[in-house]
Chains A and B, each alone.
Chain A
Amino acid sequence: MKLLIVEDQPKTGHYLRQGLAEAGFTTELVADGTTGQHLALTGDYDLLILDVMLPGRDGWQILQAVRSAGLDMPVLFLTARDAVEDRVHGLELGADDYLVKPFAFSELLARVRTLLRRGSSTPQETTLQLADLSLDLIRRRVERDGQRIDLTAKEFALLELLLRRQGEVLPKTLIASQVWDMNFDSDTNIIEVAIRRLRLKVDDNFPNKLIHTVRGMGYVLEERFT
């Protein structure tokens, strides 16, 4: 997956590139709008991350150029202002998502993955699996090591999300949004409690733990070999 980052703040750009590269993406970083637009039009990228305020050409102009050239890769905007006009403007021009600074990197990563997944049609799975944990979407049953685990509806939805995006660190805000449809920064500990409950049922009785806390970032479901 090849990403283009157009960001004129050197520090922000540097860390974005490092973070995304370490998450397994091929990234390119440019600091001015003119070069950014040239690369966006010629570089065959899977996703663009554009700052709105840029020297040369601003993010909106690059987006316009990209869309009028018939390119339809997802575009994620980074903006310092959360003005409604900005949002409306961006969506009219065909932006796919936007993040307001300051944002958490884990949030950015989750959004990038969501956007990249949107295009590709994943085959309809009926069972999600990790190690000895399996989740049957049709019968709505969860088993681990052959034992049936009873989950509430929300616990099931949470585990399904973790399984679908296994290996990805999911920020609390994303979990709240996907499982409970709460689309705001809630600083409650609800997700913590929910994960704790899920662990109690899914992980506690088994030596091989699957749900992990990534401190300060979120939660991830993966098999770790110690």
Chain B
Amino acid sequence: MIKRLSLASRLALLFAACTAVVSLIAGVLFNRASEAHFIELDQQLLDSKLVALRSALQGVDSREAFALRGPQLRAELDHQPDFTLRITAADQRWVDGAPYLSVPAAPGLHSLQNAGTDYRVYNAPLTPGQPGSPRLSLILDITHHQHFLERMQRLIWLTVGLSALATALLGAWAARSGLRPLRRMGEVAASVSAHSLTQRLPQAQMPVELAELAQAFNAMLGRLDDAFQRLSAFSADIAHELRTPLSNLLTQTQVILTQPRPLEDYREALHSNLEELQWMAQLVNDMLYLAKADHGLLMPNREALNLGDEVDALLEFFTLLAEDAQVTLVREGTAHTLGDRGMLRRALSNLLDNALRFTPPGGEIRVRMEEGVTLAVENTGDGIPARLLPRLFDRFYRADPSRRAGSSEHAGLGLAITQSIVRAHGGRIFCESQAGWTRFVIELPKGD
């Protein structure tokens, strides 16, 4: 339940709680200060009274002596209805005044309550420094102070409540308007669909706190857009790649069947169809392989491999083609790794095949290996323009667009497959090129 609370409500509640705590502390402090102030005032008042009383009662040390001075004193005290005096003999044998109160015996200032009335009592000896002197208790009715303090307390509680409520409301409003950029972000996110991946958050207008998030969000949209573009281009490419051989098959078969022909013609047509069909089967198999890789189903064995031996075997395999193309094959260094022999051979074979097709006669293909593990296939020839490098591993991508689908031509999936295999091994592959040479570099995790 708490977790589902909106950010705005959460902030509003927090604001309210903060205000409540702050005003409560302020109120309590004020209350304490007032109370201390009242005590101080009472003390002053009682001090001045004590001085007057001491001089008025000087020398009184017995009930009889007090009875002589008492009435006059009482008359004076009657003018002050909130003030009462009690005098107690040192030996407690007699007491006079305020019989309804039980007064503590200790000297100094006390507060006490009786029958709904609050009193401040100040005890002091009549004659300071003289043992046996009667004790004076000056009793001050402080009910009005207490009333004031109680009113204050009520006021404090009211303030706490009202200010909490007010800040909750104001806070809700403030949070709502403060969070507006977030809502806008949500709206953009909601409006993103397969059709509008181009939409972006206005990063410059975002508050600092959200700019980073907006940037991350935009970057994610960018990647999504890119992946989506590739995917839709991929589907379009599949259709396109299949269209050429399919239309060849259709046309040829229909033309052949329009009239009776010599047997040899039928045979020729079937052979030609077979070539198209084999090309299509190869394409489908390659695409299935890639689909498998995409689903993480490419699970390489991890056997210890001497890549030097593997490369030698591949170079031997490719020797014949290289000789025909007048290209020299060279291996340099060696490396060891854990991997799937079949898959890695396939990956390297694609690279070599690719290199052979782009190396001019008299050129050289060099396979360089280093422990650690890097493997580079480098060929001489026209370099690949830098802007094309990131796209080389895209499916169906051909650096030279004129090389379209033909029956014996490559479908343009070789490098994509190589990349999938390298990735399945936890490695990476990239291409570097300058005028005069091109190099594909595979980095594989070290085989321990």
Contact = CB atoms under 8 A, between A and B. Distances in A.
Interface residues of B, number: 29
Contacts of B289: 82
B292 A83 contact: yes
Interface stretch (B5-13, B93-101, B270-278, B435-443): B270-278
Given A82-B289, A102-B281, A185-B282, 19 more contacts: A83-B297, A102-B280, A102-B284, A102-B285, A104-B281, A181-B313, A182-B317, A182-B345, A182-B349, A183-B345, A184-B349, A188-B318, A189-B321, A190-B318, A190-B321, A193-B324, A197-B320, A215-B274, A216-B271
A180 interface: yes
A84 interface: yes
A38 to B, nearest CB: 33
Contacts, number: 61
Contacts of B299: 84
A180 B282 contact: no
Given A82-B292, A216-B278, A180 B346 contact: no
A187 B321 CA distance: 12
B128 interface: no
A186 B349 contact: yes
A27 B292 CA distance: 34
Interface string B333-348: 0000000001001100
A149 interface: no
A194 interface: yes
B317 A190 contact: yes
Contacts of A180: 313, 316-317
A89 interface: no
6 contacts: A84-B299, A102-B284, A103-B281, A184-B345, A184-B346, A194-B320
Contacts of B284: 102
B288 interface: yes
Q: Most chain-B CB neighbours within 10 Å: which of A84, A103, A181, A190?
A: A190
Contacts of A83: 292, 297
A58 to B, nearest CB: 21
B410 A187 contact: yes
Contacts of A197: 320
B382 interface: no
A137 interface: no
Contact of B297 (A84, A154, A189): A84
Contacts of B316: 154, 180
A185 B285 contact: yes
A183 B340 CA distance: 12
Contacts of A91: none
Interface of B: 271, 274-275, 278, 280-282, 284-286, 288-289, 292, 297, 299, 313-314, 316-318, 320-321, 324, 342, 345-346, 349, 353, 410
Which one of B271, B317, B324, B353 has the greatest number of beta carbons of chain A within 10 Å?
Answer: B317
Nearest to B410: A187
Nearest to B352: A188
B274 A82 contact: no
Interface string A151-173: 00010000000000000000000
Nearest to B270: A216
Nearest to B292: A82
Contacts of A181: 313
Contacts of B286: 185
A193 B320 contact: yes
Nearest to A82: B288
Q: Which among B271, B281, B320, B321 has the highest number of chain A CB atoms within 10 Å? A: B320
A197 B324 CA distance: 11
Contacts of A82: 288-289, 292
A130 interface: no
A215 B267 CA distance: 10
A93 interface: no
Contacts of B282: 185, 187
A215 B314 CA distance: 26
Interface string A63-92: 000000000000000000011100000000
A100 interface: yes
B297 A188 contact: no
Interface in A106-147: none
9 nearest CB pairs, A to B: A216-B274, A102-B281, A184-B346, A193-B320, A180-B317, A215-B271, A183-B342, A188-B353, A84-B297
A193 B342 contact: no
B313 to A, nearest CB: 7
Nearest to B274: A216
Interface in A169-214: 176, 180-190, 193-194, 197
Interface string A32-48: 00000000000000000
Contacts of A103: 281
A156 B401 CA distance: 41
A97 B256 CA distance: 38
A106 to B, nearest CB: 10
A188 B351 CA distance: 12
Nearest to A186: B349
Contacts of A183: 342, 345
Contact of A216 (B275, B288, B297, B346): B275
A182 B345 CA distance: 7
A84 B141 CA distance: 97
Contacts of B342: 183-184
Contacts of B288: 82, 100
A183 B345 CA distance: 9
Which among A82, A84, A186 has the greatest number of chain B C-beta atoms within 10 A? A186
B45 to A, nearest CB: 97
Contacts of B314: 182
A221 to B, nearest CB: 19
Contacts of A194: 320
Contacts of B346: 184, 186
B320 A190 contact: yes
A120 to B, nearest CB: 28
Nearest to B353: A188
Contacts of A185: 282, 285-286
